[in-house]
């Protein structure tokens, strides 16, 4: 009898977003190395350094070895932690790799256009010289501070909660009653040595990535910036997956909230250390994110977000004590979350509108924030905002569901150019290719279409010699195994093309629906603002050529980086901006795409590529099998 084919399993490496197929009982460390993922392992895989720690989220693996039981605690083993060098694969598995186990980190988008940040913070720093208590003046410590604030700063009726009162007696006496009081309206939220400036943290809480900034509330100066991957990604790549997790597990909401809260506090610790300030100086925090992310952060009910009509538990702006979500700051500091517009159009979208000043536009402007979810707003003079619901675009543009897809880490192909002699590639950090990130996928598809290797429906041209048959159907070779960083061919398959068609169709159909709902012709749009991490690196010509955006002149497009992060900084520094946020959220018209007339037809038409994708300078070519040429980077 013929031998059965060897059994293979898929490993999903998160949060990198890389998927590989391996043989049964393959060693996890070796599989990661073959996939081009740099795991720390100073012992060379002998199992005694403990650096290659990972967490098994799903699937069956071999039992812990003696080395693992020696290095890892019972609690760690029980939580799924393992050493990659000692773990054999026995089924399809999902593996979480912490940053501490990675040799290289993923590229994050922290920058945005933050010029002219207005200064009108909710926090006031008042330097005071308080009369010390005597036998003839036995007012309480809080009372004498409140009286001094009323007399010298015209701040009558100052109050403080017990968490702040616990700080008063010690700090006041340490500094001989010469102190700085941080006030939020008439509430004392913290005390500091005289002359201390308050600082604040602004956060863009993305589904995939987090960007955080520390700002001087007195000057508006950015003191530090940092970021990282959202640790919730191990429980689902997209919003819906995470919401489903909370439904399947009784303590799922608590688990996801704890993950993100600990991550935010860790980021805060890194920022204050870098800036040379103390946590007690952190007097205010502003966080923006989509509706699901902010609901999970606050442990609000999320079941109603998963079923029609997809409503938020609350759409209003929220102010909550920082300590209530695990942040170590000034004892009475608050966290402010901007309002949301709809069930899946959240505070991050409001922040993008604020940063881009769409609410103050003098002509028709489209704002598109591309991330794991895509939100769109149209500003039109004399008309209310109309914002689309989130488009399900992110997973593919983050590398999910793409055969060799990955996020923007070292070795990710981010730009592609087909030539007569082969393929020119640009990778993150200019190292050998191991997969494709979002911008590279869009570039590759656009190039294939320009060269007529793909037809208008997105099907490969079988007659072209550069298209070959692979394990999963037709494919195009981008980097041969001999030149890749994973010792495997890096390809783009028919399935990958279809995934990009779905993703770009979601965005284009949302745009078309918004334009139709407002009776706006595409030519009326004078500016298109592209925001978000993916949008920052996107080749606009490629995006237009595959039909993701309307065929407007490229000069009308503006890539602004992390606009949501800038909006969070604006709201941190200005009461007026917070008022603007409430007003625009209240006045926005929310377009629910699932009920928009003939939306399914719009989506189906948006799946097609534009009929004219090849230019005269880019005629079809049919040379030898596609591979990397001498200019491959």
| 132 and 188 together in one domain | yes
Residue 19 has a pLDDT of 84
Last residue of a domain, one of 192, 219, 248: 192
54-77 confidence digits (pLDDT tens): 999 999 999 999 988 888 888 889
172-188 confidence digits (pLDDT tens): 999 999 999 999 999 99
CA–CA gap between residue 389 and residue 536 (Å, rounded): 21
Arithmetic mean of pLDDT, 113-119: 62
Work out whether the CA dihedral 253, 258, 261, 267 comes out positive or negative: negative
Domain annotation covers residue 48: yes
- Higher pLDDT: 29 or 567? It is 567
Contact 565, 267 (CB under 8 A): no
In the numeric block, the tokens 């783009």 are attached to 492
CA–CA gap between residue 582 and residue 460 (Å, rounded): 49
Q: What is the pTM of this model?
A: 0.79
Arithmetic mean of pLDDT, 102-112: 54
Q: Check whether 110 has a pLDDT greater than 70.
A: no
Domain annotation covers residue 547: no
| 19 and 58 together in one domain | yes
Domain annotation covers residue 600: no
SS3 42: coil
CATH code of the domain covering residue 67: 3.10.20.30
- Cβ neighbours around 201 below 10 Å, total: 29
Arithmetic mean of pLDDT, 277-287: 97
Work out whether the CA dihedral 136, 141, 142, 147 comes out positive or negative: positive
Q: Check whether 171 has a pLDDT greater than 90.
A: yes
* Cα dist from 174 to 132, 196, 253, whole Å: 12, 15, 42
Residue 222 has a pLDDT of 94
* Cα dist from 268 to 163, 200, 387, whole Å: 20, 10, 32
Domain annotation covers residue 607: no
Work out whether the CA dihedral 553, 556, 562, 563 comes out positive or negative: negative
Q: Check whether 621 has a pLDDT greater than 50.
A: no
Quick one: pLDDT band at residue 615, thresholds 50, 70, 90?
very low
Q: What are phi and psi of 74, to 5 degrees?
A: -60, -40
SS3 433: coil
- Residues spanned by the domain of 65: 8-101
Q: Check whether 397 has a pLDDT greater than 50.
A: yes
476-491 confidence digits (pLDDT tens): 999 998 998 877 889 9
Sheet holding 318-321, edge to edge: 222-229, 209-216, 199-205, 282-289, 334-337, 318-321
CA–CA gap between residue 331 and residue 81 (Å, rounded): 35
| 13 and 97 together in one domain | yes
* Cα dist from 438 to 275, 292, 484, 550, whole Å: 33, 23, 18, 19
User: From the CA atom positions of the chain, what is the Rg in Å?
Assistant: 27
Residue 614 has a pLDDT of 47
Domain count for the chain: 2
CA–CA gap between residue 47 and residue 53 (Å, rounded): 10
Residue 618 has a pLDDT of 46
Quick one: pLDDT band at residue 4, thresholds 50, 70, 90?
low
CATH code of the domain covering residue 140: 3.10.20.880
Q: Check whether 358 has a pLDDT greater than 80.
A: yes
Residue 129 has a pLDDT of 95
528: tokens are 């298109």
Residue 116 has a pLDDT of 62
* Cα dist from 367 to 163, 198, 514, whole Å: 42, 33, 11
CA–CA gap between residue 256 and residue 27 (Å, rounded): 29
- Smallest CA-to-CA distance from 394 within 375, 376, 374, 413 is with 374
CA–CA gap between residue 633 and residue 524 (Å, rounded): 40
| 61 and 96 together in one domain | yes
| 89 and 153 together in one domain | no
Beta strands in 428-551 (DSSP E): 435-436, 467-470, 473-479, 490-493, 527-531
| 15 and 72 together in one domain | yes
CB neighbour list of residue 174: distance below 8 Å, 6 or more residues apart: none
What is the residue-averaged pLDDT of the chain? 87
- Smallest CA-to-CA distance from 403 within 348, 347, 477, 353 is with 477
Q: Check whether 633 has a pLDDT greater than 60.
A: no
Last residue of a domain, one of 168, 192, 216: 192
CA–CA gap between residue 79 and residue 273 (Å, rounded): 30
In a 10 Å sphere around its CB, with 0-12 CB exposed, 13-18 middle and 19+ buried, how is residue 470 labelled? middle
- Smallest CA-to-CA distance from 333 within 183, 469, 443, 226 is with 183
Work out whether the CA dihedral 245, 352, 521, 543 comes out positive or negative: negative
Number of alpha carbons in the 13 Å side-chain half-sphere of residue 318: 24
84-98 confidence digits (pLDDT tens): 999 999 999 999 987
CA–CA gap between residue 503 and residue 547 (Å, rounded): 11
Residue 60 has a pLDDT of 94
| 86 and 169 together in one domain | no
Arithmetic mean of pLDDT, 4-9: 73
Residue 619 has a pLDDT of 46
138-158 confidence digits (pLDDT tens): 999 999 999 999 999 999 999
Cα of 338 vs its chain's centroid, Å? 17
Domain annotation covers residue 157: yes
Residue 533 has a pLDDT of 75
Residue 34 has a pLDDT of 75
Quick one: pLDDT band at residue 282, thresholds 50, 70, 90?
very high
Domain annotation covers residue 78: yes
CA–CA gap between residue 212 and residue 267 (Å, rounded): 7
- For the chain, how far is it from start to end, CA to CA, in angstroms? 48
Residue % of the chain over a pLDDT of 70:
91
Q: Check whether 511 has a pLDDT greater than 90.
A: yes
Arithmetic mean of pLDDT, 439-449: 95
Beta strands in 59-186 (DSSP E): 81-83, 93-96, 123-129, 178-184
Last residue of a domain, one of 139, 170, 192: 192
| 183 and 136 together in one domain | yes
Domain annotation covers residue 76: yes
534-548 confidence digits (pLDDT tens): 788 889 999 999 999
Residue 394 has a pLDDT of 61
Residue % of the chain over a pLDDT of 90:
60
SS3 419: coil
Q: Are strands 53-58 and 93-96 parallel, antiparallel or unpaired?
A: antiparallel
| 39 and 91 together in one domain | yes
| 79 and 128 together in one domain | no
Domain annotation covers residue 70: yes
Q: Check whether 395 has a pLDDT greater than 80.
A: no
| 17 and 97 together in one domain | yes
| 93 and 148 together in one domain | no
Q: Assign residue 236 a region: left if phi > 0, alpha if psi is -120 to 50, beta otherwise?
A: left
Arithmetic mean of pLDDT, 119-145: 94
388: tokens are 């689309």
240: tokens are 């819906």
In the numeric block, the tokens 């009558």 are attached to 156
């Amino acid at each position: 009898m013929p031998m059965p084919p060897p059994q293979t399993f898929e490993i999903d490496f998160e949060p990198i977003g890389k998927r590989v197929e391996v043989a049964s009982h393959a060693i996890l460390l070796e599989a990661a190395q073959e996939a081009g993922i740099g795991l720390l392992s100073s012992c060379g895989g002998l199992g005694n350094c403990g650096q290659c720690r990972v967490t098994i989220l799903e699937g069956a693996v071999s039992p812990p070895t003696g080395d693992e039981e020696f290095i890892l605690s019972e609690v760690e083993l029980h939580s799924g932690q393992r050493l990659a060098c000692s773990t054999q694969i026995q089924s399809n598995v999902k593996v979480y790799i912490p940053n501490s186990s990675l040799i290289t980190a993923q590229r994050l988008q922290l920058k945005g256009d933050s010029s002219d940040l207005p200064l009108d913070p909710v926090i006031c720093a008042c330097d005071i010289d308080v009369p010390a208590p005597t036998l003839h003046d036995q007012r309480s410590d809080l009372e004498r501070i409140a009286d001094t604030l009323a007399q010298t700063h015209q701040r009558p009726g100052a109050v403080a909660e017990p968490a702040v009162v616990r700080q008063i007696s010690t700090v006041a006496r340490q500094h001989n009653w010469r102190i700085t009081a941080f006030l939020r309206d008439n509430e004392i939220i913290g005390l500091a040595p005289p002359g201390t400036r308050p600082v604040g943290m602004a956060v863009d809480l993305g589904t995939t990535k987090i960007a955080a900034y520390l700002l001087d509330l007195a000057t508006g100066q950015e003191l530090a910036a940092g970021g990282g991957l959202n640790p919730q990604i191990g429980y689902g790549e997209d919003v819906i997956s995470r919401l489903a997790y909370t439904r399947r597990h009784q303590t799922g909401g608590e688990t996801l909230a704890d993950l993100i809260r600990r991550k935010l506090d860790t980021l805060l610790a890194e920022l204050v250390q870098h800036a040379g300030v103390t946590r007690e100086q952190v007097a205010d925090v502003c966080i923006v994110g989509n509706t699901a992310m902010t609901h999970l952060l606050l442990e609000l009910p999320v079941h109603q977000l998963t079923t029609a009509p997809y409503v938020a538990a609350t759409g209003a702006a929220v102010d909550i004590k920082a300590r209530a979500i695990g942040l170590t700051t000034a004892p009475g500091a608050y966290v402010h979350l901007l309002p949301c517009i709809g069930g899946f159009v959240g505070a991050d979208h409001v922040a993008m509108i604020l940063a881009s000043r769409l609410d103050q536009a003098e002509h028709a402007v489209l704002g598109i924030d591309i991330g794991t979810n895509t939100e769109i707003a149209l500003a039109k003079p004399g008309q209310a905002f109309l914002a689309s619901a989130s488009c399900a675009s992110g997973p593919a543009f983050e590398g999910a569901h793409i055969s060799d897809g990955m996020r923007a880490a070292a070795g990710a192909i981010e730009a592609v150019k087909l030539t007569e002699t082969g393929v020119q590639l640009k990778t993150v950090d200019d190292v050998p290719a191991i997969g494709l990130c979002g911008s590279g996928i869009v570039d590759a598809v656009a190039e294939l279409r320009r060269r007529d290797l793909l037809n208008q429906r997105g099907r490969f041209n079988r007659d072209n010699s550069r298209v070959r048959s692979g394990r999963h159907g037709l494919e195009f070779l981008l980097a041969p195994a001999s030149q890749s960083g994973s010792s495997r061919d890096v390809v783009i398959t028919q399935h990958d093309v279809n995934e990009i068609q779905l993703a770009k169709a979601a965005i284009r159909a949302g745009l078309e629906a918004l334009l139709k709902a407002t009776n706006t012709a595409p030519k009326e749009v004078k500016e298109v603002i592209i925001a978000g991490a993916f949008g920052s690196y996107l080749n606009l010509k490629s995006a237009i050529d595959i039909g993701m955006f309307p065929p407007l002149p490229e000069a009308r497009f503006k890539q602004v980086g992390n606009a949501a992060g800038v909006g969070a900084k604006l709201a941190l520094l200005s009461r007026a901006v917070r008022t603007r946020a409430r007003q625009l959220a209240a006045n926005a018209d929310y377009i629910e795409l699932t009920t928009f007339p003939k939306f399914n037809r719009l989506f189906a038409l948006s799946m097609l590529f534009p009929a004219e994708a090849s230019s005269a300078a880019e005629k079809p070519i049919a040379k030898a099998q596609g591979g990397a040429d001498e200019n491959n980077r």
